[in-house]
Amino acid sequence: MTTTGHDVAAAPQAVAAIEEALRAFAKALRAIQLYLPNNPTRAAAIEQARAAFGKVWRVANPLEIQIKESSFMWDERTVYLDAERGTDGLPWLLYRDGLRSLHVHSGFETTDLEVLLAIFHKARTASPDDDDLVTLLWVADLATINYRHVEHDAVGDMPVVSGPDRPGVAVFAPGVAPLAVPLAETPAPGEGPPPGVVRVEDFDTTLYFLDTREAAYLQDELKREYAEDHRKLAVASLFDVIEGQSAAAPQLEALGIVDQLLIEFLTLGEYELVAVALREASIVSRRLAADERVLTGLRDLPARLSEPAVMSQLLQALDDSARTPVASLLEGLFVELRPSALEPLVAWLGVATASPVRASIERASARLAGAHTTELAQLLEHENESVVRGALRLAAQLATPAAVPGLARLLRGRDAKLRVEALNVLGEIASPAALQAVERGIDDSDRDVRVAAFRVIAKRAHTAALPRLLEAVRRKELRAADLSEKMALFEAFGSMCGDAGVAELDTLLNGRGLLGTRQPAELRACAARALGMVASSAAFDTLQRAADTKDVVVRSAVARAMRGNT
């Protein structure tokens, strides 16, 4: 009894069998492209495809495949997806020439599989003047393959190739007469040149008789061939051996060659090839059921490149190189690395001078750190100062809340410059926990740290810090502070206090002590500046009372505040 995909429930084992058959077919097609007919890898890939299709007929006969731009569908389920390859993918090869569905019957694996692979290979490498895929299928007249082809205007359907019941005839839509396969063209008797006569036209196929269009086509093909990087194909063939062989010995041998190639690619600065190899290793390790030594070797490839010693050598080579690497290539490489690579990366960033190389590595490192924020937060507590500085740079770019605990602990360190940088990074993160940690800088013993804290609080309008700012305003030590610190403090206080802070500012601007003395001129001018930032009627009245003061500095500050030019 013949079954179809709609007669049988789409059980997981049925979907898995069809997915495996289509993957094996795609792998066999790639083997035909890469290897000669006598190559054992090519023969093994074709045999795997035969075995996979032999299991399909138990769940679907015929196998009805719907063709999309980047996928194959069966029973409204995606059974093959090739979105990464784009126009190089197998689904696009069929969809491009108008194929919309394929019906594959039992016996295909023994009679027509190799023929169909050869047809697809010929269609992929065909020139614009060669036959398209539909024409090749029509001429081949495969007995176990039916297909539906849509015209370019997407209105009419082209014929589907007949099955064994009507060989040599293509069946059109209902109501359309069948079209017989044309006979070979032979000249009528008496036509053509007499036997034995040689004509110049017989030699038009030589290179000396190519027209301009044909010569341009050959030149383009030669340029494309020489421009193609065959090392990618070599890496792909090695992973085909690892995935296609069942014995561990050839798999381990191919894996050893890949390991050597990675070192050579790194030495030559071919980071794109290294990234391609690491991606292939990750994909193969996830879907390959092989010897544990092989799986361990595949997983260890990115881990080996992520070792601090290897990364240090790579960074030194980049630093010494006269050629600036492309940032996208470095990002493609670093995204495949393990978190252990972060330590040498941030250590290098902590001491590297400004250059195009550093900018490229910094962007690539930020992408790696963004995927491993926990490891980045741990590096903020590293004992090496260059590692901490590099981690601060990446934390400022990522602005991740995961770095807040490490930054808060930096505020308790002894290096004032690191404390200032940590405050600035906390200001970039600007989460509630980050701004709460910034408040600790108000009471810091270093002047630069306090100024940085005032500016971050003012920039982020962190009103929760007002009580601590008020304490700083009342502190007696403020009189001995320099003008820039006073201005930063009063700007932060005045930008957020509102009318609630006018009384305190009025005391500083207009108040008198027990001996009738006023506050220092710089402090009064800063209070006037803060009142101008409050910009309320109460603040204006306070400024008005100080408008006729004798101190020139204070009077000038009051005038600017009343004009709104704080």
pLDDT of residue 8: 46
466-474 and 447-460 helices cross at what angle (nearest 10)?
A: 140
- Compute the C-alpha angle 135/138/139, nearest 5°: 85
Query: In sequence order, what DSSP letters do the residues of 274-294 get, joined into one string?
Result: HHHHHHHHHHHHHH----HHH
For 119-138, the pLDDT digits (tens) are 998 888 888 778 888 888 88
In this predicted model, which residue has the larger pLDDT, 156 or 369?
369
Q: Is the pLDDT of residue 102 over 80?
A: yes
Q: Is the pLDDT of residue 169 over 60?
A: no
Q: Is the pLDDT of residue 70 over 60?
A: yes
- Distance between CA atoms of residues 297 and 295, nearest Å: 5
In this predicted model, which residue has the larger pLDDT, 158 or 506?
506
Q: How many whole angstroms from its chain centre is CA 30?
A: 25
In this predicted model, which residue has the larger pLDDT, 179 or 66?
66
pLDDT of residue 451: 93
Which CATH number is associated with domain 477-486+494-566? 1.25.10
Instruction: Find all residues with CB under 8 Å of 238, minimum gap 6, and list them.
Output: 254, 257, 258, 261
Which CATH number is associated with domain 400-460? 1.25.10.10
Q: How many angstroms separate the Cα of 98 from the Cα of each of 113, 135, 148, 151? A: 21, 11, 8, 7
Q: Is the pLDDT of residue 452 over 90?
A: yes
pLDDT (average), residues 429-434: 91
Q: How many angstroms separate the Cα of 174 from the Cα of each of 158, 171, 178, 351, 489? A: 12, 9, 10, 76, 87
pLDDT (average), residues 198-206: 56
In this predicted model, which residue has the larger pLDDT, 328 or 380?
380
Share of the chain above pLDDT 70, in %: 83
For 499-547, the pLDDT digits (tens) are 998 999 988 888 876 555 578 888 899 999 999 999 899 999 989 988 8
Q: Provide the token pair at 8.
A: 């049988």
Instruction: Find all residues with CB under 8 Å of 506, minimum gap 6, and list them.
Output: 531, 542
Q: Provide the token pair at 378.
A: 């741990």
- Distance between CA atoms of residues 518 and 86, nearest Å: 78
SS3 62: coil
Beta bridge partners of 170: 161, 179
DSSP alpha helices (H): ranges in 352-402?
356-371, 373-379, 385-398
Going by pLDDT thresholds of 50, 70 and 90, the confidence category of residue 175 is: low
- Sheet arrangement for strand 77-81: 77-81, 71-74, 63-67, 99-104, 145-150, 157-158
- Distance between CA atoms of residues 202 and 189, nearest Å: 20
pLDDT of residue 491: 92
SS3 165: coil
Mean pLDDT is lowest, of 107-116, 364-373, 395-404, 484-493, for 364-373
Q: How many angstroms separate the Cα of 355 from the Cα of each of 159, 345, 362, 367? A: 63, 15, 11, 19
Residue 146 φ/ψ, nearest 5 degrees:
-115, 150
Q: Which amino acid is at 11?
A: A
- Distance between CA atoms of residues 525 and 20, nearest Å: 80
pLDDT of residue 139: 87
- Distance between CA atoms of residues 245 and 240, nearest Å: 8
Query: With contact defined as beta carbons under 8 Å apart, do 261 and 235 qualify?
Result: yes
pLDDT of residue 195: 60
- Distance between CA atoms of residues 105 and 108, nearest Å: 6
pLDDT of residue 162: 42
- Distance between CA atoms of residues 553 and 562, nearest Å: 14
Going by pLDDT thresholds of 50, 70 and 90, the confidence category of residue 331 is: low
pLDDT of residue 467: 92
The long-range contacts involving 354-360, CB below 8 angstroms and separated by at least 24 positions, are 356/324, 357/318, 357/319, 357/321, 357/324, 357/325, 359/327, 360/324, 360/325, 360/326, 360/327, 360/330
SS3 54: helix
pLDDT of residue 155: 45
pLDDT of residue 437: 92
- Distance between CA atoms of residues 224 and 562, nearest Å: 73
pLDDT (average), residues 221-231: 80
pTM exceeds 0.75 for this model: no
Q: Which amino acid is at 358?
A: R
Q: Is the pLDDT of residue 153 over 70?
A: no
pLDDT of residue 458: 92
Q: Is the pLDDT of residue 363 over 90?
A: no
- Residue written as token pair 């002894």: 414
In this predicted model, which residue has the larger pLDDT, 505 or 8?
505
Of 306, 283, 328, 312, nearest in space to 81 by CA: 283
User: Cis bond leading into 62, ω under 30°?
Assistant: yes
Domain ranges across the chain? 12-176, 400-460, 477-486+494-566
DSSP 77: E
Mean pLDDT is lowest, of 20-29, 164-173, 396-405, for 164-173
Mean per-residue pLDDT over the chain, rounded: 80
pLDDT (average), residues 298-312: 78
- Distance between CA atoms of residues 192 and 169, nearest Å: 31
pLDDT of residue 181: 47
Residue 77, class by beta-carbon neighbours within 10 Å (0-12 exposed, 13-18 middle, 19+ buried)? middle
pLDDT of residue 6: 47
Do 400-460 and 477-486+494-566 fold alike per CATH? Answer: yes
pLDDT (average), residues 420-437: 91
pLDDT of residue 461: 92
pLDDT of residue 2: 47
